[in-house]
Amino acid sequence: MGGFSVFEAMERYQYEQIIHMYDQATGLKGITVIHNTTLGPALGGTRIWNYASDEEALVDCLRLARGMTYKSAAAGLNLGGGKTVLIGDASKLKSEAYFRALGRYVQSLNGRYITAEDVNTSTKDMSYVAMETNHVVGLEGKSGNPSPVTALGVFHGVKAGLQQKFGNSDIDRYTFAVQGAGQTGYYLIGYLLEGGAKKIYFTELNPKHIARMQQEHPEVTFVQPDDIFGLDVDVFSPCALGGSLNSDTIPLIKAPVIAGSANNVLLDEDVHGKMIMDRGIIYCPDFVINAGGIINVYHEIHGYNRDNALADATRIYDRLLEILAIAEREHIPSQQAAKVFAQQRIEAIHQLKRTYIPR
Ligand code: NAD
């Protein structure tokens, strides 16, 4: 394994368990990582990827599982962090038996880990997993499309960013630039329009998504992808792909608030988190503001109710205000403050569980 030490990584980041699985009959080959279960069962999706090496797959799975611990903790959920990566070409591997084999591995963890769909897996694939285990969420006919819930959470995150910057979160006072009008950006723009946004600009690469917006909301102005960063607006909302905030784009941004759905939007968390802070821009950390999706599936575990899930997503507003206050008080980038916030919650609940209370 070259210079990479599994146990060193486990010790440094306090991973609980790593499971390697190989099912010869179906070709299922992969890794489940359980990072931390202080708050509850480790939840994280299953992705299939053609990794160049086993080590690359492991490193990715370790990173993603840890990210899930922070995400759920900061979202106030009673969940830990975990992830599964399956190695290979999704188009060749997928079958009923393949996913049922996965389901049997998930079941063998006896509820310590709950899986869901992710990159290259679908709700249909998860329905096969569900034939072998109950520890799977995001199923067809249950919590449904998470994107409107994610977008609602982002909308309330936008309001928190505005509140922190201007001391007022009335949407009708402000202007917005939304990058990406796909699943989440589309719904976010809908919420902003409902809130009476003064002006909204959007950009897109997909002609169908451009046409949909122009037909449904002609008052929302299209700009070319490269022009979205430098607009003179109050909020820049990245709702496209990761890495869009980097050394080239951050200097262009005029908006005093950045708040959007995109995951891993900072190309380099440390470098670009600090660059944004140094420019005096309020940045709503990605894994906090976009937690609506996981909040939505979490509700599936306890019997799904859409209204409860939506109400829970609106609480992203309060949590972001707490996190932005930590960032200001400690003079640290908000992404780092969000991790402090998550760790504090894990530690507090860990302390709480020291006393045995039978239920
Ligand atoms: P999506 O694919 O439906 O939408 C993204 C859109 O961005 C696409 O329409 C694409 O054409 C457009 N796009 C890509 N690059 C662009 C560019 N350079 N300029 C302009 N437009 C560009 O995806 P989504 O579900 O809306 O997710 C968006 C982001 O939010 C992703 O990073 C995703 O991981 C994250 N996220 C989504 C959810 C959810 O519930 N869907 C939950 C949490 C996080």
Q: What is the pLDDT of residues 211-254, one digit of tens each?
A: 999 999 999 999 999 999 999 999 999 999 999 999 999 999 99
CATH label of the domain that carries residue 282: 3.40.50.720
Q: State the distance from the centre of ligand 1 to the C-alpha of 204, rounded, in angstroms.
A: 10
Q: Please count the structural domains in the chain.
A: 2
pLDDT, mean of residues 137-150: 91
Residue 158: CB partners within 8 Å, gap ≥ 6? Answer: 171, 176, 188, 192, 235, 237, 257, 259, 284
Whether 359 is in a domain gets the answer no
pTM of the complete model beyond 0.85: yes
The number of beta carbons lying within 10 Å of the beta carbon of residue 315 is 15
Is the same domain home to 110 and 159? no
Catalytic positions, written as ranges: 83
Region of 173 on the Ramachandran plot (φ > 0 left; ψ -120 to 50 alpha; else beta)? alpha
Burial letters for 218-234: b for 16+ Cβ neighbours within 10 Å, e otherwise?
eebebbeeeebbbbebb
Residue 111 scores a pLDDT above 70: yes
CATH label of the domain that carries residue 10: 3.40.50.10860
Whether 137 is in a domain gets the answer no
Mutate to test the pocket of ligand 1, among 143, 227, 239 (most ligand atoms within 8 A of CB): 239
The ligand 1 atom at the shortest distance from the C-alpha of residue 206 is 11
The model's confidence at residue 1, banded by pLDDT at 50, 70 and 90, is: very low
Average pLDDT, the chain: 96
Q: How far apart are CA 313 and CA 89, in angstroms?
A: 35
Is the same domain home to 298 and 214? yes
Whether 282 is in a domain gets the answer yes
Is the same domain home to 32 and 93? yes
Is the same domain home to 151 and 115? no
Q: How far apart are CA 293 and CA 143, in angstroms?
A: 10
Going by alpha carbons, the residue nearest to atom 25 of ligand 1 is: 183
Structure tokens at 97: 């038996």
> Which residues have C-beta atoms less than 6 Å from ligand 1?
146-147, 150, 179-180, 182-185, 203-206, 209, 225, 239-242, 261-263, 290, 293
pLDDT value of residue 2 = 58
pLDDT value of residue 144 = 84
Whether 179 is in a domain gets the answer yes
Q: Tell me which residue range forms the domain holding 334.
A: 147-339
Is the same domain home to 202 and 332? yes
Whether 1 is in a domain gets the answer no
80, 40 contact by CB (below 8 A): yes
24 burial (CB, 10 Å; 0-12 / 13-18 / 19+) is exposed
Q: How far apart are CA 248 and CA 225, in angstroms?
A: 14
pLDDT value of residue 359 = 86
